[in-house]
Amino acid sequence: MPTISIEQRVLEALMAASGHEHDVAALEQELPLLGTDIDRCDETTLDIEIFPDRPDLLSAETLARAMRAFLHHEAVSPSLDVQPSTTSMTVDEELAEVRPVILCAMVHGVNLGDDESSKDAAIRRLMDHQEKLHFAVGRGRHRASIGVHDLDRLQPPFRAVCTDRSASFTPLGSDMPMTIDAILSEHPKGIDYAHLLEGMERVPLLLDANDAVMSFPPIINGVHTTVTTSTTSMLVDVTGWDIAACEASLHLVCLQLEAMGGTVTQVDVIGGLGQGTHPAGAAVHHTLPKALIKRLLGRDFTHKEASNAFQRMGGDVLEDTDEAFVVAMPRWRLDVLHHVDLIEDLAIGHGYDDLGTATPTAPAHGQPRPDAHLRRRVRTALVGLGFTEVQSLTLSNHDDQFNRMRWEPSGAVTEITNPITVDHTVLRQHLLPGLLRLLAANRHHDLPQAVFELGTVVRNHHNAGRVAFLAAEASGGFASVRGRIQALMGALGATESSNLVIEPLPDGEGPWLAGRAARVLVNGTWVGCFGEIDPHVGDAFELAVPMNAAEFDLSALDAALPDPV
């Protein structure tokens, strides 16, 4: 999940702007309900983790706006205040097959700060917000990409055109003109995002009235429009393929600039999927049936209760009829897709502790899993050996699962189509990377640390059960982990005197230290591997302690060992 690192002086200034302040202890209690959590807090910085369903909280300014409503019941408008359009952006028809959505807004009177340091910090926050939106909303700049320009260096009106790859301009980060082909093959941003224009002979450019190139979306801006500490007026452009993602991104950047004192002015977009006047600013009205609220939350809400709850979440109740509430919600709340999302906001804003009680209307009796006895025996044995059971995320990423662990994928890897964060792009195939991440997060605690997990992995798009353990201890060598394996397998009914074979693993296979790893076979069937973790693998996870570990396939164990129950 994305994390905002906010200097406390910035957060305090944002909150104080409306006469509010809040201590961190209270924030830790209340922020999770808003869709955030505090990761770290020291004398200078507050790190706040943003949950995936609230991309509208990805900047300090938009987060502070939401906090003022949620924590202090300040009346925050669900609309963005905009001034009528004074110029236009004309979109070439040819862009329909290249980059069909083009939106713009102008923001005047932006106050970046009182000194150079404050202004630099404000520009960094703006760029950081832009990149977070590129990932969380724009899906790697495919659905939406954002450009922010110094408006005083541009001459309106503006045009979006198609050009061939021989066109040239000076991109941000360069002091010499480059052709489009050169940018896509040599410029760092061009190399990163060239795949978005793959197969296209003609590419988009945004021009001002003097035909100066202000942007080559979704790759890079022109160098002459760079925002500096002296900038007070900005042009925001958003281009892409998804009108909702582009519209939300435009509103959120404008909302951030408005919090810096800016006045947002609309731009008329002529042509393309985004034809119209943007940003619209007005809230979206939803009709929320009261019967559905009663069915899902188990109680009725008065007008005052509903109004207070939605105002805490940045919305407002406009009408209250016998059948429904008419609710205004911000246009930038991309997570509001259905009545259920509004009801969730109602429950959060009102408070989960005041929704009444209910008892099950139909009794149900649980049925044991086919492998329940095996899982119980494995769990009991590992707890008896001093391990603590944990549960890590099913989502992982290629680096953790394969590159750092030196494992090859087992069958097809199940990819996440729209990942929220670069850390969660695939469904895991192994449990050990999650345990290593857990120990890395707890490396400030004393040794020894010993954890295990009974969990599900996904291999070749099918679920499979596995068990893994990991021990970090100053004296933990191969003899230590081998003893644990013998004890675990003995508790499951396998011994070296009967059906258990432990044989060396080839060097370089997996995360194991050469000559210090083995595979386990029961009745000739492979069931798992164990050994010492190679220090190079530990370094990749920021762990500099001796570790030993094991990972077993529960299905293989279940098939190879009889169930005594």
pLDDT digits 0-9 by tens, 183-239: 999 999 999 999 999 989 999 999 999 999 999 999 999 999 999 999 999 999 999
Q: What is the pLDDT of residues 339-367, one digit of tens each?
A: 999 999 999 999 888 887 777 777 777 77
* Same domain flag for 213 and 248: yes
Backbone torsions φ then ψ of 330, nearest 5 degrees: -60, 140
User: To 10 degrees, what angle do helices 116-136 and 243-259 make?
Assistant: 160
* Same domain flag for 125 and 141: yes
Q: Give this prediction's pTM.
A: 0.68
State residue 60's pLDDT score.
85
How many CA atoms lie within 13 Å of 463's alpha carbon, on the beta-carbon side?
4
Is 361 part of any domain?
A: no
Is 77 part of any domain?
A: no
* Same domain flag for 254 and 329: no
State residue 329's pLDDT score.
95
State residue 57's pLDDT score.
87
- Say which range, 36-45, 205-214, 305-314, has the weakest mean pLDDT: 36-45
The total number of structural domains that make up the chain: 4
Tell whether the torsion through CA atoms of 220, 224, 225 and 230 is positive or negative: positive
- For 7-23, b/e burial (b = at least 16 CB within 10 A) is eeebbbebbeeeeeebe
* Same domain flag for 103 and 67: no
What band does 18 get if pLDDT is binned at 50, 70 and 90? very low
> 278, 307, 330 — which closes off a domain?
278
Is 400 part of any domain?
A: yes
* Same domain flag for 49 and 118: no
Average pLDDT rounded to a whole number, residues 380-386: 93
Distance CA 233, CA 278 (A): 17
End-to-end CA distance of the chain: 43
* Same domain flag for 55 and 88: no
State residue 421's pLDDT score.
78
* Same domain flag for 130 and 272: yes
Q: Are 66 and 57 in contact (CB under 8 A)?
A: yes
What band does 17 get if pLDDT is binned at 50, 70 and 90? very low
Average pLDDT rounded to a whole number, residues 52-79: 85
* Same domain flag for 102 and 201: yes
Distance CA 413, CA 321 (A): 51
* Same domain flag for 292 and 270: no
| Tokens matching residue 62 | 């938009």
| Tokens matching residue 172 | 């941000």
Q: What is the pLDDT of residues 402-433, one digit of tens each?
A: 999 999 999 999 998 878 778 899 999 999 99
Query: Could you tell me whether strands 158-164 and 88-91 are parallel, antiparallel, or unpaired per DSSP bridges?
Result: parallel
Is 360 part of any domain?
A: no
State residue 12's pLDDT score.
53
Q: Are 515 and 522 in contact (CB under 8 A)?
A: no
Q: State whether residue 124 is helix, strand or coil.
A: helix
What band does 39 get if pLDDT is binned at 50, 70 and 90? low
Strand partners, 236: 105, 148
11/494: higher pLDDT: 494
Is 435 part of any domain?
A: yes
54/468: higher pLDDT: 468
Distance CA 433, CA 422 (A): 15
Average pLDDT rounded to a whole number, residues 387-400: 93
Average pLDDT rounded to a whole number, residues 89-118: 94
Residue 105 confidence (pLDDT) above 50: yes
In the predicted model, what is the mean pLDDT of the chain? Answer: 88
Q: Which amino acid is at 178?
A: M
Spatial CA neighbour of 316 closest among 302, 335, 330: 330
Is 182 part of any domain?
A: yes
> 278, 303, 324 — which closes off a domain?
278
The H or E element containing residue 511 is none
Q: Which amino acid is at 89?
A: M
State residue 29's pLDDT score.
55
State residue 507's pLDDT score.
84
Residue 5 confidence (pLDDT) above 70: no
Average pLDDT rounded to a whole number, residues 48-74: 83
* Same domain flag for 68 and 88: no
179/71: higher pLDDT: 179
State residue 40's pLDDT score.
63
What band does 103 get if pLDDT is binned at 50, 70 and 90? very high
What band does 561 get if pLDDT is binned at 50, 70 and 90? confident
State residue 563's pLDDT score.
73
State residue 341's pLDDT score.
94
Residue 451 confidence (pLDDT) above 80: yes
| Tokens matching residue 507 | 């060097």
> 298, 321, 351 — which closes off a domain?
351
Residue 565 confidence (pLDDT) above 70: no
- Domain span holding position 186: 82-278
Distance CA 531, CA 511 (A): 9
Spatial CA neighbour of 341 closest among 355, 353, 327: 327
State residue 76's pLDDT score.
87
* Same domain flag for 390 and 437: yes
Q: Are 458 and 429 in contact (CB under 8 A)?
A: yes
Is 358 part of any domain?
A: no
* Same domain flag for 100 and 245: yes
Is 363 part of any domain?
A: no
Distance CA 539, CA 405 (A): 11
Query: Which residues make Cβ contacts (< 8 Å) with residue 340, sequence separation at least 6?
Result: 296
State residue 73's pLDDT score.
82
Name the H helices within 333-452: 339-350, 372-384, 398, 432-441
What band does 291 get if pLDDT is binned at 50, 70 and 90? very high
CATH number at residue 345: 3.30.56.10
Q: What is the pLDDT of residues 487-542, one digit of tens each?
A: 999 998 888 878 889 999 888 788 999 989 999 999 888 999 999 999 999 999 98
Q: State whether residue 527 is helix, strand or coil.
A: strand
Q: Provide the 8-state DSSP code for 401.
A: I
Distance CA 16, CA 14 (A): 6
State residue 562's pLDDT score.
77
Question: Which stretch, 35-39, 270-274, 503-507, has highest mean pLDDT?
Answer: 270-274
